[in-house]
Amino acid sequence: MKPPPPLDADDAVAALSALAHPHRLAAYRLLVQAGPDGLSAGVIATRLDLPPSSLTFHLQQLCAAGLAGRRRASRMIFYAADYAAMGALVGYLTENCCGTAATCVPACDPAAAAPRASGRKSA
Amino acid sequence: MKPPPPLDADDAVAALSALAHPHRLAAYRLLVQAGPDGLSAGVIATRLDLPPSSLTFHLQQLCAAGLAGRRRASRMIFYAADYAAMGALVGYLTENCCGTAATCVPACDPAAAAPRASGRKSA
DNA sequence: ACGACACTTCGAGGAATGTCGTATGATCAA
DNA sequence: TTGATCATACGACATTCCTCGAAGTGTCGT
């Protein structure tokens, strides 16, 4: 069982596209830093100073790419980062870069990348 | 001296945007896997089955984002991945995600992320 | 010098993306 | 039920991005 589910090229492009926008990247980092509980759409909109409809648009991209999940709590909707998805993306990016040893990036450290059972939610 | 130069939000978006396209992501992975010597534009064009002008367009995005470098060797031009840039990007993405410990991704391992100014991955 | 080769630059058309006001759905308080 | 709040769906517009043929630049072999 591999915590980071194997990502294919299309998934990776989707995830990267989702992150490749200032507002979405900012929102995503907010979620990453907020932890598993996530943040409500309203809070995110306030912090990012974005109109609700624009925020929804971006949040949907993040969810569609599998980078975030949503959960309803009464009137509010909470979004939370999907850490496993990020791990999978990083894995995809660094895949095979260890073949060239010395030039490899930290995240690509074989010792850290292979054995790590941080299995988590994925929905 | 920090191998991964601190990336700001704009740089991160630029890098992510550069990778957020099927052809560029494919080209980038080819470079990552090719190692420090890189690959010539012609070889990349052949493997990706892209017309030269299209390839140049994408390769330039990669270079502009700092993810790749170019070097001329007689008639050919070699492109090579910039591993440090990738490390910086991964670092930016995972920054602060360790605050929530258990949910954290492998790449975000505090032991590997924080004190890497001197030593790096094992040999 | 000449011709061949490797790649880049230029330019234009078409497709995809981001923005945000307004309307609508869902939930809660009284 | 009525009214208020939180968020999403819809629609239209502007802008940016991708593609690729043709022409141009630099390098090599003869």
A57 CB contacts (<8 Å, ≥6 apart)?
none
| Euclidean distance between CA atoms B11 and B92, whole angstroms | 10
CA distances from A36 to A28, A84, A114, B34, B123 (A): 12, 12, 24, 37, 35
Question: Which of these CATH numbers, 1.10.10.10, 3.40.718.10, 1.25.40.10, 3.40.50.12710, describes A9-108?
Answer: 1.10.10.10
Tell me the CA–C1' distance in angstroms for A40 and D9.
19
The count of other CB atoms within 10 Å of the CB of residue A45 is 19
User: Which of A29, A32, A108, A120 is the best substitution to test chain B (most B C-beta atoms within 10 A)?
Assistant: A32
Phi-psi category of residue A64: left, alpha or beta, with phi > 0 → left and psi -120 to 50 → alpha: alpha
Closest CA to A9 of B25, B93, B62, B31: B25
pLDDT in tens, B61-90: 999 999 999 999 999 999 999 999 998 998
Q: What's the pLDDT band for A25 if we cut at 50, 70, 90?
A: very high
| Euclidean distance between CA atoms A15 and A40, whole angstroms | 21
If one compares B3 and A55, the residue with the highest pLDDT of the two is A55
Are the Cβ atoms of A116 and B106 closer than 8 angstroms? yes
Are the Cβ atoms of A101 and B123 closer than 8 angstroms? yes
Return the closest nucleotide (C1') to the Cα of A41.
D7
Average pLDDT value for chain B: 81
Burial of residue A53 (number of CB atoms within 10 Å: 0-12, 13-18, 19+): exposed
Contact at 8 Å (CB) between A95 and A107? no
Chain D: positions less than 7 Å from a protein CB are: 5-11, 17-23, 26-28
Nearest-by-Cβ selection for B106 from A22, A93, A113: A113
Element of type H or E holding A9: helix A9-19
How much of chain A is helix, strand and coil, in % rounded to 5?
60, 10, 30
pLDDT in tens, A43-97: 999 999 999 999 999 999 999 999 999 999 989 999 999 999 998 998 898 876 6
Greatest Cα pair distance, chain B, in angstroms, is 52
Are the Cβ atoms of A13 and B22 closer than 8 angstroms? yes
